[in-house]
């Protein structure tokens, strides 16, 4: 029986040395998780039991288990390199409708704008719709440079989401001027208004339009009528539209200290006014004159703030620790493009390794549970321009190698000893 135990020991030690060699060879593999060889003793099976003093048949390799401990975080210069600091796995689309999982965050963009790894597998997450990420949406391949993600508008609107605040005007109207000589307003005739200013606004397609405001001092010393006109870009018909055909946009009134006392009013600009009948949405936005004054000093524009913007394409991006990809556009705006979503398993050691730094879900790993980075303890936070290094401890591996080498030598010695005993028996006379 001694040969069998020694042979079992040699096989087990050899497999353990293979595991150690694999760990050492992957000491520089990003996201690699070290393997640990686990042994189990072997006894002969018997219907009547193994007896009072059973002798084992040696050892065997029960499993080679990967250790999902955290690896060190190293900094890189690639914003698409992503490290997971904590639990969870990146979800990757294998191109055949299945999802595989990895801790290797070395990503890049392919020719179609998808975030992929070195093997072309696409990183999955939630894509934003017009800058809004819907929590709980199914994970899909993340695509950064997509024509549908170009950012136009939103134009100024009444109400709406935060940020659509309309137009804010802060000017000083010269209290010393007299009413215009010509009472009929005409934006082409400076004699019909006292002062004017202009700002660029944008329609729903991102086309720029010049919105001009004209201030006409009323008969009352403390009131000013506000008229407006819009100048449209080339190709729009009409080129200039007088928005005050039905009278002034509104009236500003001031008290004896030059402080504004009137309320904001709403500007309405139709698609016809913008010169794109049926092609753009009409605009309706509040015009707020907070801070506007009437002092005995020259006319001045202190602030002109509007929340519209032209169309733009993605010029760059940042990935936050919560996985949100914030796109920077050529029109100076920033908005959410998508979010990386992580997966976790109750028994990650039960996942099936597929090579190329990816694993597949198995019956022993349990079903995947998806969540946003950092949302709970089972999902780590992300760090952009960084990578999780291999968790192989070279010092420990080299010491374990020495131990396994001694074990291999000892098992070989038991075979040699058994051979010597048998030789002695054969030589008996």
Task: Copy the structure tokens of residue 391.
Answer: 């968790």
For the segment 51-75, the average pLDDT, to the nearest whole number, is 87
| Full-model pTM | 0.76
Positive or negative, the CA dihedral 324, 328, 331, 337 is: negative
Which residue from 117, 119, 104 is spatially nearest to 386, judged by alpha carbons?
104
Report pLDDT for 197. 95
Evaluate whether 309 touches 181 at the Cβ level (below 8 Å).
Answer: no
Percent of the chain with pLDDT over 70: 93
Task: Copy the structure tokens of residue 256.
Answer: 């004896």
Which residue from 335, 390, 384, 327 is spatially nearest to 357, judged by alpha carbons?
390
Percent helix, strand, coil in the chain, to 5, is: 15, 35, 50
Task: Please give the helix or strand (H or E) that residue 407 lies within, else none.
Answer: helix 394-426
Alpha-carbon separation of residue 6 from 2, 23, 32, 416 (angstroms): 6, 26, 33, 9
Report pLDDT for 152. 45
For the segment 158-168, the average pLDDT, to the nearest whole number, is 49
Cα–Cα distance, 57 to 126 (Å, whole number): 54
Report pLDDT for 346. 94
Q: Cα 329 to the chain's mean position, in Å?
A: 15
Cα–Cα distance, 90 to 386 (Å, whole number): 15
Evaluate whether 355 touches 51 at the Cβ level (below 8 Å).
Answer: no
Is residue 181 scored above 90 in pLDDT? no
The count of residues in the chain is: 429
Task: Copy the structure tokens of residue 19.
Answer: 């595991």
For the segment 58-67, the average pLDDT, to the nearest whole number, is 92
Most confident of 142-146, 238-242, 368-372: 368-372
Report pLDDT for 150. 52
Is residue 48 scored above 50 in pLDDT? yes
Q: How confident is the model at residue 284 (pLDDT cuts 50, 70, 90)?
A: confident
Cα–Cα distance, 410 to 5 (Å, whole number): 11
Backbone angles phi, psi at 274, to 5 degrees: -80, -5
Task: Copy the structure tokens of residue 114.
Answer: 């998808």
Evaluate whether 114 touches 127 at the Cβ level (below 8 Å).
Answer: no
Lowest-confidence pick of 36-40, 56-60, 259-263: 56-60
Cα–Cα distance, 96 to 367 (Å, whole number): 19
With 0-12 / 13-18 / 19 or more C-beta atoms within 10 angstroms meaning exposed / middle / buried, residue 160 is middle
Neighbours of 54 (CB within 10 A): 11
- Residue 158 makes CB contacts below 8 A (sequence gap 6+) with 166, 266, 284, 285, 286
Cα–Cα distance, 101 to 366 (Å, whole number): 14
Report pLDDT for 139. 94
Strands 324-329 and 314-319: antiparallel
Q: How far apart are the first and last CA of the chain?
A: 24
Strands 283-288 and 167-174: parallel
User: To 10 degrees, the CA torsion angle through 258, 262, 268, 269?
Assistant: 0
pLDDT of 401-425, one tens digit each? 999 999 999 999 988 888 888 888 8
For the segment 300-304, the average pLDDT, to the nearest whole number, is 93
Is residue 383 scored above 60 in pLDDT? yes
Q: How confident is the model at residue 53 (pLDDT cuts 50, 70, 90)?
A: low
Q: How confident is the model at residue 31 (pLDDT cuts 50, 70, 90)?
A: very high
Cα–Cα distance, 266 to 156 (Å, whole number): 11
Task: Copy the structure tokens of residue 215.
Answer: 């201030």
Which residue from 160, 162, 197 is spatially nearest to 301, judged by alpha carbons?
197
Task: Copy the structure tokens of residue 417.
Answer: 């000893």
Is residue 163 scored above 50 in pLDDT? no
Q: How confident is the model at residue 164 (pLDDT cuts 50, 70, 90)?
A: very low
């Amino acid at each position: 029986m001694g040969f069998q135990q020694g042979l079992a020991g040699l096989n087990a030690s050899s497999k353990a040395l293979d595991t150690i060699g694999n760990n050492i060879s992957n000491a520089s593999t990003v996201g690699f998780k070290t393997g640990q060889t686990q042994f189990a003793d072997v006894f002969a099976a018997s219907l009547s039991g193994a007896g009072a003093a059973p002798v084992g048949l040696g050892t065997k390799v029960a499993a080679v288990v990967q250790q999902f401990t955290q690896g060190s975080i190293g900094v890189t210069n690639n914003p698409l390199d992503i490290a997971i600091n904590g639990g969870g796995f990146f979800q990757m689309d294998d191109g055949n409708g299945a999802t595989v999982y990895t801790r290797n965050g070395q990503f890049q963009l392919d020719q179609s704008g998808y975030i992929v790894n070195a093997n072309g597998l696409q990183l999955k997450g939630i894509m934003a719709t017009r800058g809004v990420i819907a929590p709980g949406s199914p994970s899909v391949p993340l695509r950064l440079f997509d024509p549908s993600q170009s950012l136009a508008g939103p134009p100024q609107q009444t109400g709406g989401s935060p940020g659509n605040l309309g137009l804010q005007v802060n000017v000083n109207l010269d209290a010393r001027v007299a009413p215009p000589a010509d009472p009929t307003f005409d934006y082409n005739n400076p004699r019909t208004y006292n002062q004017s200013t202009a700002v660029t606004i944008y329609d729903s397609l991102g086309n720029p339009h010049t919105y001009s405001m004209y201030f006409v001092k009323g008969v009352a010393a403390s009131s000013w009528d506000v008229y407006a006109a819009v100048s449209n870009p080339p190709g729009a018909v009409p080129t200039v539209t007088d928005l005050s055909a039905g009278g002034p946009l509104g009236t500003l009134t001031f008290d004896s200290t030059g402080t504004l006392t009137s309320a904001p009013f709403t500007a309405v600009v139709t698609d016809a006014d913008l010169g794109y009948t049926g092609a753009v949405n009409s605009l309706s936005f509040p015009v707020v004159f907070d801070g506007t004054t009437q002092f005995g000093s020259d006319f001045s524009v202190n602030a002109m703030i509007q929340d519209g913007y032209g169309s733009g394409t993605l010029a760059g991006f940042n990935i936050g620790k919560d996985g949100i990809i914030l796109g920077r556009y050529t029109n100076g705006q920033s908005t959410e493009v998508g979010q990386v979503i992580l997966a976790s398993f109750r028994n990650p050691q039960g996942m099936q390794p597929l090579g190329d730094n990816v694993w597949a879900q198995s019956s022993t790993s349990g079903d995947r549970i998806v969540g946003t980075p950092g949302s709970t303890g089972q999902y780590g936070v992300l760090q952009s321009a960084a990578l999780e290094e291999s968790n192989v401890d070279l010092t420990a591996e080299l010491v374990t190698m020495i131990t396994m080498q001694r074990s291999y030598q000892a098992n070989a010695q038991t075979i040699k000893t058994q051979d010597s005993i048998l030789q002695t028996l054969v030589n008996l006379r």
